[in-house]
Chains A and B, each alone.
Chain A
Amino acid sequence: MNTPFRLDDHPRRPHPLSAPPAGYFEQLPRRVMARVQPAEDAAPALGWLTRLPLPLRTALASTLLLGGFAASLILSVTPTSASATLAAVPQEELVQYLLANDARVTLADLADLSAAAPTTASYLHASPEELQRALDAQPTDDSYL
């Protein structure tokens, strides 16, 4: 009959599995150092950030975030002036638009036109005085005047 197995009687093998590849332990320190070094080398550029106290870093990050948000908001909503936008549209296109569109140019629109504006003279072929006379000739019950 076999003697029952007792762990204490069994010779202990410190490393029962196969050895790692030859030279493994010579290379391992270099490989580990290579993994920890890049993080250290990258640090100097922004290293001063890591030395700041945590509340200051949080405040700085918040300020940058808010500043970025505000800047993007301002840049996105800054309007180019209406007159500049209109000036960029070729005059022929404006005429075509007005002719094709159902919208009517009312007397009120004409009254709003600046007499000095070159478009008035170019397209209405009327001098400021002629325009004024035309306006004055309108019935006074035109409440919109």
Chain B
Amino acid sequence: MEDQEILAKFADPASRNLAFNQLVRKYQQRVYWHVRKMVVDHQDADDLTQDTFVKVWKNLENFRQDASLFTWIYRIATNECLNFLSSKRRKFFLPLNDVGAELLAKAEADPGVLSGDEVEQKLQKAILRLPDKQRLVFNLKYYEDMTYEQMAEVTGTSVGALKASYHHAVKKIEQYVNNQSAND
């Protein structure tokens, strides 16, 4: 079902549930994996994915369609992730690096990461060492293959700033992997 059709059906109370069910089915995997890469843990990702769709349900009537439905949903999911990570720091009074260390520990124990080769494992560690917002930019570009314009809609950041952020993220990652390989 196309986005326009979903929106039209959602506007009609008689077909609202059906339309929303279709919307969840259409975007659930992308939202889940976007969130999962940010928070690593499946349970956290599950909670945040559900929270994202609940917010979509509550706000879809007010969706103005000046952005695409897909980037609008990503924007909600992104905000949920960033709020989750910052509230985690506030809640446990953790400095930046400690949350990174927690994510890293979870990733190191994740069978999916462990199933990758040595370089892949170093790559995942390098990505998780990036600050949250830079990691978000990296994930959207590298894994989601979004255009910078789409990323700008999701993050509310200018295209130029996003390009610079992604460029620096790649440099940091390459440097980390190379340093780790040199130390082995």
Contacts and interface: CB of A to CB of B under 8 A. Distances in A.
A38 to B, nearest CB: 11
Interface stretch (A12-20, A52-60, A88-96): A12-20
Nearest to A6: B174
Nearest to B37: A17
18 contacts: A2-B181, A5-B177, A5-B178, A6-B174, A7-B170, A12-B142, A16-B120, A16-B124, A17-B36, A17-B113, A18-B115, A20-B42, A25-B28, A28-B32, A35-B50, A36-B53, A36-B54, A36-B58
Interface in A1-37: 2, 4-7, 10, 12-21, 24-25, 28-29, 31-33, 35-37
Contact of B54 (A7, A17, A35): A35
Contacts of B110: 17-18
Contact of B49 (A13, A18, A28): A28
- Pairs of residues from A and B, 9 with the lowest C-beta to C-beta distance, nearest first: A18-B112, A5-B177, A17-B112, A29-B24, A36-B57, A18-B111, A32-B53, A18-B110, A32-B24
Contacts of A4: 174, 178
Contacts of A15: 33, 112
A28 B143 contact: no
Given A4-B174, A12-B143, A13-B120, A19 B17 contact: no
A2 B115 CA distance: 22
B32 A5 contact: no
Contacts of A16: 37, 112-113, 116, 120, 123-124
B21 interface: yes
Interface of B: 17, 20-21, 24-25, 28-29, 32-33, 36-37, 40, 42, 45-46, 49-50, 53-54, 57-58, 107, 110-113, 115-116, 119-120, 122-124, 142-143, 170, 173-174, 177-178, 181
B112 A5 contact: no
B174 A5 contact: yes
A80 to B, nearest CB: 52
Given A5-B181, A12-B143, A15-B33, 16 more contacts: A4-B174, A6-B174, A13-B120, A16-B120, A17-B36, A17-B37, A18-B110, A20-B32, A20-B42, A20-B45, A25-B29, A28-B28, A28-B32, A32-B54, A32-B57, A36-B20
A5 B119 contact: yes
A28 B49 CA distance: 9
A10 B57 contact: no
A2 B17 CA distance: 56
Contacts of B17: 33, 37
Contact of A20 (B37, B46, B116, B177): B46
Given A17-B112, A17-B113, A36-B20, A10 B123 contact: yes
